[in-house]
Chain A
Amino acid sequence: MNKIWLVLKREYITRVRNKTFLLSTFLLPIVMLLFIFGSAFFAMSSKEKLKKIAVINDPGTFRANLKGDSASLIFDFKDNIDSTNFSTKGYDAVLNLNNDSASRKFTIHSKKQLGIDAQGLIESTLDRAYEINQLQKKGIRKETLDSISKQSKGAFKVENRLTTAQGKSQEVNAQLNYGVGFGSGILIYITMFIFGAMVMRGVMEEKTNRIAEVIVSSVKPFQLMMGKILGIAAVGLTQFFLWIVLILVLSTAIGAFIPHELVQQAGEVNKNIPMGGSSAMAMKLMDVKQTASNVNWSMIITCFIFYFLGGYLFYASLFAAIGSVINEDPQEAQSLMLPITMPIIFAFIIMTSNLNTPDSTIMVWASMIPFTSPIVMMARIPSGVPWQQLVVSMALLIAGFLFTTWLAAKIYRTGILMYGKKASWKEMFKWAFRKS
Chain B
Amino acid sequence: MNILELKNVQKYFSTQKAVDDISFTIEQGSIFGLLGPNGAGKTTLLRMITGIFYPDNGEIFLKNRHFDPVNDVRYIGYMPEERGLYKKMKIGEQALYLAQLKGLSRSDAMKKIKAWFIKFEMESWWNKKVEDLSKGMSQKLQFVTTVLHEPELIILDEPFSGLDPVNANLIKDEIFNLAKNGSTVIFSTHRMEQVEEICDHIVLVNKGKKILDGSVADVKNQFKQNVYRLGASTNAHNLMTYIFEVIKHQPNELLLKLLHDSTTNDVLKFFISQDIQIHSFNEVLPTLNEIFIQLVEGTPYARQFEKMN
**Chain A residues within 8 Å of B, Cβ to Cβ:** 3, 6-7, 10, 14, 205, 209-211, 213-220, 417, 419, 430, 436
Interface residues of B in 48-71 (CB under 8 A from A): 50-52, 54, 69-70
| A209–B87 touching, CB < 8 Å | yes
Q: Assess the B80–A213 pair: CB atoms within 8 A.
A: yes
Known: A217-B78, A417-B52. A6 touches B83 (CB 8 A): no
Docked complex Cα distance between A14 and B93 (Å): 11
- Asked if A211 and B85 make an inter-chain contact with CB atoms under 8 angstroms apart, the answer reads yes
Does chain A have a CB within 8 A of B97? yes
Residues of B within 8 A of A215 (CB): 101
A419 to B84, CA, bound (A): 13
Q: Give, as a whole number of angstroms, the nearest-CB distance from A217 to chain B.
A: 4
> How far apart are the CA atoms of A5 and B100 in the complex, in Å?
11
Q: Is the CB of B86 within 8 A of A205?
A: yes
Complex: how many Å from CA A214 to CA B87?
14
* With contact pairs A3-B101, A6-B97 given, residues A217 and B86 touching in the complex (Cβ less than 8 Å): no
B163 within 8 A of A: no
Query: Which A residue's beta carbon lies closest to that of B149?
Result: A218
| B interface bracket (residues with beta carbon within 8 Å of A) | 20 to 34
Give every chain A residue within 8 A of B87 (Cβ-Cβ).
209
Asked whether B98 lies within 8 Å of A218 as measured between CB atoms, the reply is yes
Partner of B80, one of A6, A7, A214, A430: A214
**Known: A6-B100, A10-B97. Contact between A216 and B85, CB under 8 A?**
no
Q: What CA separation (Å) do A3 and B102 show in the bound complex?
A: 9
Contact B80 A14 (CB under 8 A): no
Q: Is the CB of B89 within 8 A of A14?
A: yes
CA distance in complex: A400, B51 (Å): 29
User: Nearest chain-A residue to B56 (Cβ)?
Assistant: A435
Q: Which residue of A lies closest to B14 (CB)?
A: A430
- Chain B residues whose C-beta falls within 8 Å of the C-beta of A210 in the assembled complex: 82-84
B76 within 8 A of A: yes
B86-A214 in contact (CB<8A): no
With A6-B97, A10-B97 as known contacts, state yes or no: A216 contacts B52, CB within 8 Å: yes
Contact B82 A213 (CB under 8 A): yes
Shortest A279–chain B CB gap in Å is 31
| Closest beta carbon of chain B to A129's beta carbon, Å | 71
Contacts of A3 in B (CB 8 A): 101
Q: Which residue of B lies closest to A7 (CB)?
A: B101
Residues in B160-180 with C-beta less than 8 Å from chain A: none
Q: Is the CB of B101 within 8 A of A419?
A: no
A14–B47 Cα distance when bound, in Å, is 29
Q: Is B88 part of the contact surface with A, judged by Cβ < 8 Å? A: yes
Q: Which residue of A lies closest to B99 (CB)?
A: A218
Does B82 lie within 8 Å of A217, measured CB to CB? Answer: no
Whether B97 lies near A217 (C-beta < 8 A) is no
CB distance from B307 to the nearest CB of A (A): 15
Give the residues in chain A near B142, CB-CB below 8 Å: 214
Interface contact A214-B70, CB-CB below 8 Å: no
Contact of B78 among A6, A205, A214 (CB under 8 A): A214
Q: Within the assembled complex, what's the spacing in Å between the Cα atoms of A324 and B86?
A: 16
- Known: A218-B101, A220-B69, A417-B52; 8 extra A-B contacts, CB below 8 A, are A7-B101, A14-B89, A213-B47, A213-B82, A218-B73, A219-B101, A220-B70, A417-B47
- Asked if A209 meets B101 with Cβ closer than 8 Å, knowing A214-B78, A217-B73, A436-B54, the reply is no
- With A214-B78, A217-B73, A218-B101 already in contact, the answer to whether A209 and B52 are too (CB < 8 A) is no
A410 to chain B, nearest CB (A): 13
B94 CB to nearest chain A CB (Å): 9
Given the complex, which residues of B lie within 8 Å of A217, measured CB to CB?
Answer: 50-52, 73, 76, 78, 80
7 contacts between A and B (CB under 8 A): A14-B88, A209-B85, A211-B85, A213-B78, A214-B80, A214-B145, A219-B101
